[in-house]
Amino acid sequence: MKQTAHKKRICSKRLCILILVPLTFVFLALFTVNEPIIPAIQLASPVEDHYMQKRQQMVRMIERDVHETSQYLDKEALDPKVLQAIHTVPRHKFVIPETLTEAYRNIPLPIGYGQTISQPYIVAIMTDLLKLSASDTVLEIGTGSGYQAAVLSELVKQVYSIEIVVPLGEQAKQRFKELGYTNITSKIADGYYGWEEYAPFDAIMVTAAASHVPHALIEQLKPGGRMMIPVGSHFMTQQLLLIQKDTDGQIQTRQILPVRFVPLTGEH
């Protein structure tokens, strides 16, 4: 009798261990490996909090990096409004599910169709260099994921965005609708001719690959306006081309290296 009771106790102990241990592992795994899953099942706000926190970290990192590069960008720090915009836009809503956990790392990410969502640091610098104000209208060539347009939309009155790849354009349109970006208008078309209907623009951002700067875009830039063209591969921005149209309509360009680096040391 005593023995069977003892056996039973051992059995139930074993059963408890067998059930509890895997459960603990599952929970641990869910908490550590894939953070978003647990909050998503429970409440919405902790998720947002979690992302907000990560976004905050990313913004701080960008701030620090820009500060170090400041001398080469001819400024001490980024416009706080630009940083605020990056802080507001939920980058995780613009990436593909496979890269969700990477959404707030300061790196470019693939979005399918051979296209990418730019490195936040570069997005911040490019946006800042456009010197935008709240009443501006901006044209973007190359919507991609729509992240850049969303950042712009936080800073200006109206953003017009053109994408050439049909599925990307449709996804972005849907995304803008879902996230409530009412001041972004997008279409699927050839960006070479700009968007005559809404021209002229205070600023133009060309994130699509182009072998030269289309004349129509220069035409559709307001006097005093700025155009930004990042040059490089899909993942690596080699340099930024900033085109400025002065009040007389004269064009000047600046070649900007978004890195703290001078090619020459010594006496020259």
Partner 1 sequence: MLMKPPLLSLGLISATALAYEILLMRLFSIIQWHHFAYMIITLALLGYGISGTLVSLLQTTLLKPKHRWFHITYPLFLFLFSLSSFGCFFLAQSIPFNPEAIIWDTQQIWNLLGIFLLLSTPFVLAASAICLVFIHYPEQIAKIYSMDLMGAGFGSIAIILMLFFVFPITALLIISLSGLTATLIALQETQQLSIKKTINKNATRTFSFIIVLTGLFYISSFQYWQLNISPYKDLSTTLNIGGTQIIEQKSSPLGLLEIVESPKFPFRHAPGLSLHNSQEPLEQLGLFSDAANMTAITRYPDELEKLSYLDQLTSALPYHLNTINRLLIVGAGGGSDILQARFHKTQNIDAVELNSQIIELLSNQFAAYSGHIYLQDNINIHSGDIRGFLSKKESSNDGNYDLIQISLMDSFNASASGLYALNESYLYTIEALQTYLQHLNPDGYLAISRWVKTPPRDAIKMFMTAITALEQYQIQPAAHHLVLIRGWQTATLLVKKNPFKVSEIEALKQFCQARAFDVVWYPGIKAGETNQYNHFREAYFYQAARALLNDMDSRQQFLQNYKYDVNPASDDKPFFHHFFKWSVFKELISLREQGGLVLVEMGYIVLFVTLLLAIVSSIILILLPLIVFHFRSRAKAEYSLSALDRLQLFIYFFSIGLAFLFIEIAMMQKFILYLYHPIYAIPVILAAFMIFAGLGSAWTKQLLLRFSAQQLLLGAIMGIVFIGVFYSYFLGSFFAMTASYPIIIKIILSLLLIAPLAVCMGMPFPLALGALSVSSSSGSSNTAYIPWAWGINGCASVISAVLASLLAIHFGFNLVIIFGLGLYLLCLITFTMPGAHALS
Closer of 125 and 150 to partner 1 (Cβ): 125
Of residues 112, 118, 107, the one with CA closest to residue 140:
118
Stretch that binds partner 1, among 17-25, 170-178, 194-202, 206-214 (CB under 8 A): 206-214
Position 248, amino acid: D
Fill in the per-residue mask, 155 to 184: x = in contact with partner 1 (CB under 8 A), - = not in contact: ---------xxx------------------
Position 172: which residue type?
A
Size of the site for partner 1 (CB under 8 A): 57
- Rank residues 149 and 169 by Cβ distance to partner 1 and give the closer one: 169
Coil, helix or strand at residue 178: helix
Q: According to CB under 8 A, which residues from 64 to 83 bind partner 1?
A: 65, 68-69, 72
The long-range contacts involving 258-263, CB below 8 angstroms and separated by at least 24 positions, are: 258/69, 258/73, 258/121, 258/122, 258/125, 259/69, 259/72, 260/68, 260/69, 260/71, 260/72, 261/72, 262/72
Interface of this chain with partner 1, residues 30 to 59, rule: CB under 8 A: none
First to last CA, the chain: 98
Interface pick for partner 1 out of 25, 27, 113, 198 (rule CB under 8 A): 113
Who contacts 77 (Cβ-Cβ below 8 Å, separation ≥6)?
Answer: 63, 66, 67, 70
Tell me which residues touch partner 1 (CB under 8 A): 61, 65, 68-69, 72, 105-107, 110, 112-115, 119, 121-122, 164-166, 190, 192, 209, 211-215, 218, 231-239, 241, 243, 251-268
Residues carrying an active site annotation: 118
